[in-house]
Amino acid sequence: MNYHPNGINHHPDNNMLLEYASGSLNRAHSLVVSAHLQLCNECTAQLKLLNGIGGALLDTVSSDSSTMEPSMSEQQTQAFSRLMERINAAEKAPQESNEASTAVLPRPPSDPIFKHVPPVVDKLIRTNGKLKWQRLSRGLKEALLETGQQRHQVSFHRIAPGSKVAEHDHRGKEITMVLYGSFSDADGVYTPGDFLVREPGETHRPTATQDEECLCLSVVEAPVTLTGLLGKLINPFLTIKPQ
């Protein structure tokens, strides 16, 4: 498989980047996008391009305001101007964070898997304090994270070397970013910085590589649905815990 030069091959799409820049993306998803931007030069450059296009549109609207067609009301123009102001303000944060990504605060020796996480994830860990890991299966652990929102569950998932996560479907959107190690499924291989979006109805079974464990940051808006006989027994009891 050919990877992107900076080691990242899977990215948020332009719609999500634009929502992030404009401030309309929800807090939980923004957290994962921000972490990705701190590692991905390509998406940081794409965000700048989107902002530049938006700025050019704003300049056009301003220069043509005296001859504006009736369909573009003054109220619409003001709303568009406020949107572009938020985009321009949001552009600065990812750039500054990306520059600071080379100076990640060190993790304690007991948690080497967190040593090189993006700054926004490092801050999230320190805010949450000692992580409480819960074993979900023989090779999978989960630690829930407090992010101050009530809709999405944000958590770390830790997959043991060579372990397979139970095959599952999605009742709601799931966003995952690889922080350490790698895993694969039927669609490909995912390494640190890779950003995955799974929509309702998509099924997959992540498998960690044999030589090292895998750490992921995940955001879900509904419980997953396990497939097969095991799923029929367990699914009614699966919930999410936004916090």
pLDDT at 76: 46
pLDDT digits (tens, 9 = 90+) for 89-104: 544 444 444 443 334 4
The predicted model scores a pTM of: 0.72
| 112-237 topology per CATH | Jelly Rolls (2.60.120)
The bridge status of strand 214-220 relative to strand 153-159 is: antiparallel
pLDDT at 3: 40
DSSP E strands, 30-139: 133-137
Q: Where are the chain's structural domains?
A: 14-103, 112-237
- For 105, counting Cβ atoms within 10 Å of its Cβ (0-12 exposed, 13-18 middle, 19+ buried), the class is exposed
CB 75 within 8 A of CB 132: no
Tokens 């709601």 locate to 172
pLDDT digits (tens, 9 = 90+) for 110-168: 678 888 899 999 988 888 888 999 888 788 898 999 988 888 889 999 999 998 877 75
pLDDT at 54: 58
